[in-house]
Chains A and B, each alone.
Chain A
Amino acid sequence: MNANDLIYDTITSKKLTYEQKLITLAKLAENSIDVLNIPPRTKHYFETGAINDLAEGHAPYRPRYIQADFGKFLKEGSKFLRLGPAKNLDQALTNLAIIYRHTPSITSFPVYVGQLDELLSPYVDGLTDDEIRYKLKLFLTYLDRTITDSFCHANIGPKATRIGYLILETQRELKNCVPNLTIKYDLKNTDEAFLKYAIETSLMCSNPAIANHIANQKPFGADYGICSCYNILPLSGGAYTLTRITLTELAKEAKSMDHFFNELLPECLKLIADYMNERIKFIVEKSNFFESSFLAAENFISKDRFLGMFGVTGLAEAVNFLLRDKNIKYGNSPQADELGIKIMDKITSIVAGFDALYSPLTGGKFVLHAQVGLDTDIGITSGVRIPVGDEPENFMDHLRHSAKFHHYFPAGVGDIFPIAQTAKNNSQALVDIVKGAFNLGVQYMSFYEQDADIVRITGYLVKRSEMEKYFKGETNLQDTVALGAPNYKASKLAERKVRLI
């Protein structure tokens, strides 16, 4: 389809809201120019699907993900936005709602709305729980109805606070998809009752997910945030870009194990590094994003705290394909898992050899991220996850497998588990399991109750009831419904193995 047809189809679409049309048209305009140098071999891998830039666009004019320092903003206000320091909870919530509106990302919506409990704690003294709940409810409803894309993420924890509990309580009532919520859990310091309350909340409304605070501090220290689909990134910074290697597609080109390891993998990885550097160079040197954004001018973000995320996905199918003669499967056989580890070791060492432009925080290196997938992924399992249908019988074996692979991904990785109704009567069991998993090195996990309306697709949340509307051809407020619905079907997510039956 040529560009004019795409534009016409977008303008006349029945399935898109006005806002979704506007964003699509902006993307089509961006894609009508070619400013990046893309060599023929890179184009080849784009065609096979081994390289995928997640439709970031042909001429990047903002970083993919931004995690602004909203704490500084609340304390100091913003000249550009003509806002003074927030003096009470109403002002804090209004100011945040304002700055979110002006925080871009690859989706055009804010993918990070901050460490909400820490941000709001200074403003809750003197207010009753009822008063806080009422204000939170208005604020969170506003976010859900105006940030119409569930890649938006809020964080709480690791410290249990009054406002932290109230945020969870409000989520239980609202059952919204936006923002996606993660609790940072510190095995040594977080009050276990807070984790338990969070887990019980997740069995009611599929939120929050749980991040291993100790493990996730390793790359950037305590000043990190979780945004979008499990991206661990520096605060006051973020990620310029994310391009992924789809191992599933790369493996299909391999003539032998040796060809895969010693030719295809090094070549493809190098081309991705070059491609990401092209994008980073354009954002920093040409787009004038950092020169035109008040976020940078007022030091809510800092150019030297951005990085390039090196995405990896489809490890499972790559392993299964390379071992297809042996009739063994990733996640079910030590030999298959060993090959998975060998591939990840190789990727880690090759990527460590590349220089990433404008990335001083990481010492000029890219950071690995287990990419969770696209709506168009068919037969490609997210990151390093075990494919639906191949999950080990024993939940603990599944988690041990996760622990073996999570440590490769400082910029985020995670697993999703539907949980049986029975566990609702014994949430302490999930507390025990999370603690066990984190002790073994699992970095991030999330639960939803098997019959919940809200389900996690690859990391973001979509309501089953909304997906049904999508399949009937109705418009949806949230654009992620249109991404989630096909993925939910294609990846057979309804058949994920239910745990703790």
Chain B
Amino acid sequence: MIEAIVNKIIPLSVVDGPGARSVVFLQGCNLACIYCHNPETQRVCNNCAKCVKICPNNALHKENGKVLWKKEICSECDACIKICPNFSSPRVAKMPAMAVFDQIQNNLPFISGITVSGGECMLAPFFLTDLFCLSKKSNLSSFIDTNGTIDFSLYPDLLSLTDGVMIDLKSWDNDTYHTVTRGSSLDNDTVKKNILFLLDAKKLYEIRIVCFPMMQPKNVVDALREFLGKKSLQARLKLIAFRNFGVRGDFARSPNTSPEEMQKLFDYCRDFFYEVKVV
């Protein structure tokens, strides 16, 4: 079985898709968004070992050139994550889908599904296919939380096993996209293509927009509506207020989007889409 680098598995979440779900966070992303809430999932560890020296519990050590983590003695104080210059974490495990699913099974019968997030989980499409095969057998629904930069039409097997996709729309124009994603070489066209493709395939669960003043969320909503035409009434939109919690770098101190601004945006677009939620 194909292995993926797993950052963590949350046994029970109510904010990662419909119902009670277990959530798997994979390590590694192809973007580096300025408002990223878990920047420690962005890169795969390069074994620089800066974290090894500062771990107060000696839960980290370097062996054969690799940083290794002893979960049993880790206190999850996050010192390693805070010092990491590489936006990574040593607290990960390489796991095949079967091992991940073994852990998720402990959460039955309380959960109705699983969601894989990241990092960017679509960088591991074959791992996802393996995992979703297993969840299907246990009657669990399978959701993907993605930045939309990987073309879903290339993975029909995975899509047939997927019940819903939550996709980020970070901006509409490419210039803003590059700024938000901190100079990513990718552009926004694949994201847009995916939105339409998944909507037509009835696999699009929701489009998520992080409402950050710089990206002009109202303009993004307008552009999206125009892009989808009549189909916008089939799409669920989630407007997420920017919160600086967990954010690193220049935007760590940017003010949170106010509830009033969010309400204004909600009132503006509530009738354009199948459903609009604000969180």
**A positions within 8 Å CB-CB of B:** 394-396, 399, 422-423, 425-426, 428-433, 435-437, 439-440, 500
Q: How many A-B residue pairs have CB under 8 A?
A: 50
Judging by beta carbons under 8 Å apart, are B110 and A432 in contact?
yes
Residue pair B19, A426 in contact (C-beta under 8 Å):
yes
Q: Counting CB contacts under 8 A, is B15 at the interface?
A: yes
In the complex formed, the residue of A with least CB distance to B18 is A428
Decide: A428 and B19 in contact? CB cutoff 8 A: yes
- How long is the Cα–Cα vector from A428 to B15 in the complex, in angstroms? 11
Complex Cα–Cα for A437 and B109 (A): 8
**A437: chain B residues within 8 A (beta carbon):** 110
Residue ranges of B at the interface with A (Cβ–Cβ < 8 Å): 11-12, 14-15, 18-21, 107-112, 277, 279
Whether A432 contacts B19 in the complex (CB less than 8 A), given A399-B110, A425-B277, A440-B109, comes out as yes
Query: Which residues on A sit within 8 Å (CB–CB) of B11?
Result: 394, 396
Chain B interface mostly: loop
- A500 near B14 with CB under 8 A, answer yes
Q: Is the CB of A425 within 8 A of B279?
A: yes
Known: A396-B11, A396-B12. Contact between A439 and B18, CB under 8 A?
Answer: no
Determine how close the nearest CB of chain B comes to the CB of A234; give it in whole angstroms: 30
Indicate whether A396 sits within 8 Å of B107 (C-beta atoms), given known contacts A426-B14, A426-B18, A429-B19: yes
**B residues within 8 A CB of A428?**
18-20, 112
B109 touches A429 (CB 8 A): no
Q: How close is A201's CB to chain B, nearest CB, in angstroms? A: 18
Query: Across the interface, do A396 and B110 meet the contact criterion of CB distance under 8 Å?
Result: yes
Contact A436–B110 (Cβ < 8 Å)? yes
**CA gap between A394 and B279 in the complex, in Å:** 24
Chain A residues, CB < 8 A from B112: 428, 432
| Cα(A218)–Cα(B110), bound, Å | 23
Taking the closest CB of chain B, its distance from the CB of A379, in whole angstroms, is 31
CB B166 to nearest CB in A, in angstroms, measures 13
- The A interface, classified by DSSP as helix, strand, loop or mixed, is helix
Query: Which of A425, A432, A437, A439 has the most C-beta atoms of chain B within 10 angstroms of its own C-beta?
Result: A432
Do A422 and B14 touch (CB < 8 A)? Answer: yes
- A430 to B18, alpha carbons, bound, how many Å? 11
Instruction: Across the A-B interface, give the 3 residue pairs with the lowest CB-CB distance, nearest first.
Output: A436-B110, A432-B20, A429-B14
Q: Which residue of A lies closest to B108 (CB)?
A: A436
| Chain B residues, Cβ within 8 Å of A431 | 19
11 A–B pairs (Cβ distance < 8 Å), ordered by A: A394-B11, A394-B12, A395-B110, A396-B11, A422-B14, A423-B14, A425-B277, A425-B279, A428-B18, A432-B112, A436-B111
Q: How far, in Å, is B277 (CB) from chain A's closest CB?
A: 6
**B142 CB, nearest partner CB in chain A, Å:** 15
Q: How far is the CB of A73 from chain B (nearest CB, A)?
A: 41
Are A433 and B279 in contact, CB atoms less than 8 angstroms apart? no
In the complex, what residues of A have CB within 8 A of residue B12's CB? 394-396, 500
CB distance from B70 to the nearest CB of A (A): 21
Residue of A nearest to B22 (CB): A396
Minimum CB–CB distance from B263 to chain A (whole Å) comes to: 15
| B109→A439 contact, CB < 8 A | yes
Whether the pair A429, B277 counts as a contact (CB closer than 8 A) is no
Q: How far is the CA of A430 from the CA of B19 in the complex (A)?
A: 7
**A174 vs B110: C-alpha distance in the bound complex, in angstroms?**
32
Question: Given contacts A396-B110, A399-B110, A439-B109, is CB(A433)–CB(B15) below 8 Å?
Answer: no
| Complex alpha-carbon distance, A396 and B21, angstroms | 12
| Chain B residues positioned under 8 Å from A430 (CB to CB) | 20
Which of B12, B18, B20, B21: most chain A CB closer than 10 A?
A: B20
A35 to B264, CA, bound (A): 70
Residues A422 and B15 in contact, CB atoms below 8 Å apart: yes
> Which residue on A lies nearest to B113, using beta carbons?
A432
Extra pairs beyond A428-B19, A432-B110, A436-B111 (5, CB < 8 Å): A394-B11, A396-B107, A425-B279, A426-B14, A432-B20
- A436 in contact with B109 (CB, 8 Å): yes
A392 to B109, CA, bound (A): 18
Q: In the bound complex, how far is the Cα of B13 from the Cα of A396, in angstroms?
A: 11
A433, B20: Cβ atoms closer than 8 Å? yes
The interface residues of chain B lying within 8 Å CB-to-CB of A436 are: 20, 108-111
- Measured between alpha carbons, how far is A433 from B13 in the docked complex, in Å? 11
A394 to B22 alpha-carbon distance, docked (Å): 12
Residues of A within 8 A of B18 (CB): 426, 428-429
Contact check, A435 vs B109: say whether CB atoms are below 8 A apart: yes
CA distance A433 to B277 in the complex (A): 22
From residue A453, how far is it (CB to closest CB) to chain B in Å?
Answer: 21
Q: How far is the CA of A436 from the CA of B140 in the complex (A)?
A: 13
Residues of A within 8 A of B111 (CB): 432, 436
The smallest beta-carbon distance between A352 and chain B, in angstroms, is 31
Closest-by-CB residue of B relative to A432 is B20
Chain A residues in 8 Å Cβ range of B21: 429
Chain A residues whose C-beta falls within 8 Å of the C-beta of B107 in the assembled complex? 396
Closest to A424 in B: B14
Q: Who on chain B is nearest to A394 by CB?
A: B11
